[in-house]
Amino acid sequence: MTDFEKYKKLLGEFVSFQSVSTNPKYAPEIEKTVAWLKKLLSTSGFKTKIWKGKSSNPIIFSEYKISNTAKTVLIYGHYDVQPAESNDGWKSDPFVLKVNKTKMAARGVVDNKGQILVHIATAINLIKKNALKYNLKFLIEGNEETGNDDLAFLMQKNNKKLACDILLVSDGELTNNKPTIEVSLRGGFNCTLKFTTGTTNVHSGIFGGAIPNAGTEIVKFLSKLINPDNSIAYKSFYKNVDKISKAELKNNKRLTHEAKNIAKLAGVESLLGPKGVDFYTITGLTPTIQITGLKVGYIDDGYANIVPNTGEVRLNFRTAASQKAQGVVDDFKKFVKENTPKYVKSELSFSGLHDPVKINTDSPYFEVAEKILNKVYGTKVNRKNVGGAIPFVGDVKKILGVDTLLIPLVNEDCNMHGRDENFDVDLVKKALEFSEKFLSS
Ligand SMILES: [Zn+2]
C-alpha cells in the first residue's frame, strides 16, 4: 500500500465517528473516536495518555522518543467536528468518506481530522522506517469547535510533559492555493455595552423628541466610534499596534492582488477600508471593532410607538500585535465614559480576552519548513497575517515558551464547517510529502 492509500484507509475510519462537540448527544461517538486514536497511536509505539478536564472532552497526549538528544516537535490538532446532517444538502453521507479523482469529502476531512492525520500517518510510517528525526508529541483535543475551558489549565498542569522545541499546527487553508505559513494571529474579545435612558418605555407621541431615546443614544455613540471608512475614531485604539514594515505591505499587496473575488467570497458589492490599504493588511495587521448585534425597541409584527428606555450593542474586538487585550479594554472603557452623556447610564461587560500572536520568522524551524514547502509545491511560500485567532497558540507561547509553525494544508474551497467539506487529492499528496520531509530531515 502506498502512503496515500494507508492515509486514505485511516481517514475513512477517523471520519466515520460523529465526534460533534457542540451537542452532548454525541458523547458516545466522542468516546469511540478517543479509543480509536489511542489504539492507533499505542499500537504504533507511542506512549499515550488520556487527560480529563472538568467539563471538556478527553484530550489525547501521545509521545514517541527517539533519543535524549533529538529535538522535540509537539503537534496540536483536534478530533471534534462541527455538526453535519445529510439533509443540509450534502451530496452524500457526511460521515462516510467519499473519494473521487480530485476530491475527498466528509465532515472533518480538513477541520481537523484530515490535517492532523497527515502528521500522525506520516509519523507512523517514519517510525516503521526508522527515519524519524525528532522526538514527537501529539496533543489532540476534542473541544476546539466549542472553545475549551480546560485546555490552558491542563497545559499548565502538564507543562513538563509538553516541553518541546517547536509546536506544529496544521488547521487552516492555503492562501491563493499556494503553500502558506501563517506569521501572525489577531487577538481580541467580546463586549456588551448596555445603555439605559429611563425607567420604562414611554409613548412616542407624548414624549418623543423631548426626552432621551436609548436607540438614538446608541446610534449617536456608534457614529462617534466608527469612521465612514470602517476605521476606529479614537486614537488610543491603535496604541501599541506594530508599525507595518515595507516587506509586510509588499507581501500583503501581492496576496490581495493574487486573490480573486474577495468581495464575492464575502457576498458583498465591494471591499471597504482606509484608502490605499489592502485587504490582508486590514484583516491581518490592523485592529478593528465589529458590531455583531444590536438590540433596542420593538421589532415584532407592526409597530410600537414608543421611546425605548434600554438598548444594547454587542461588539467584537480584533486586536493586532503587540497590543494587549487588557489595555484595549481599559482604553475603550475610557472612551465610553467620555462619550456617554450624563443622562445615559452605561454598563459594560467583556469576555474571552486573548492577546495577538507574532510568530518568530527567524527561527531555524521556520526556515526549514519554508524551504521544504517551496520544494514540495514548487512555488513561492506565502506569509500570511491571519485575521482570526487560535487562543491555544498564545497559551503555548506563554506556558511553554516556544514558537509555533502554523502550516495549513488544505484548499481554499474546502468549505470547512459547511456542506461537502473537502480536501483536494493533489493537496493531500503534497501535505503527506511535506510532513514526511519535515519530520525526517
Ligand atoms: Zn473548525
Residue range 188-246+283-353, CATH number: 3.30.70.360
43-64 average pLDDT score: 96
**pTM of the full structure:** 0.89
200 vs 138: CA distance, rounded Å: 56
CA of 146 to the centre of ligand 1 (A): 9
C-alpha 111 – ligand 1 centre gap (Å)? 5
- Across 312-327, b (16+ Cβ under 10 Å) vs e yields bbebebbbbbebebee
Predicted confidence (pLDDT) at residue 132 exceeds the cutoff of 90: yes
Cβ atoms of 284 and 406 closer than 8 Å: no
Give the model confidence (pLDDT) of 377-408 as tens digits.
999 999 999 999 887 888 898 899 999 999 99
Q: In this predicted structure, what is the pLDDT of residue 392?
A: 83
CB 94, CB 108: distance < 8 Å? no
| Predicted local distance difference test score (pLDDT) of residue 75 | 98
Q: How close is the Cα of 124 to the center of ligand 1, in Å?
A: 25
Question: Residue 3 Cα, ligand 1 centroid: separation in angstroms?
Answer: 26
Please state, in angstroms and rounded to a whole number, the distance separating the CA atoms of residues 359 and 153: 23
Q: Return d(Cα 127, Cα 129) in angstroms, integer.
A: 5
Q: Is 262 helix (H, G, I), strand (E, B) or coil?
A: helix
Task: Provide mean pLDDT across the span 304-316.
Answer: 98
In the reported structure, the alpha carbon of residue 144 is separated from the centroid of ligand 1 by a whole-number distance in angstroms of 7
Percent of the chain topping pLDDT 70: 100
pLDDT digits 0-9 by tens, 235-266 = 999 999 999 999 999 999 999 999 888 999 88
Judged on CB neighbours under 10 Å (0-12, 13-18, 19+), 206 is exposed
> For residue 80, how far is its CA from the centre of ligand 1 (angstroms)?
8
**Which pLDDT does position 34 carry in this prediction?**
98
Tell me which CATH homologous superfamily contains domain 3-185+356-440: Zn peptidases (3.40.630.10)
Ligand 1 centroid – CA 81 distance (Å): 7
Residue 149: pLDDT band (50, 70, 90) is confident
* CA 142–ligand 1 middle distance (angstroms): 11
Domain chopping of the chain, boundaries? 3-185+356-440, 188-246+283-353
CA of 383 to the centre of ligand 1 (A): 21
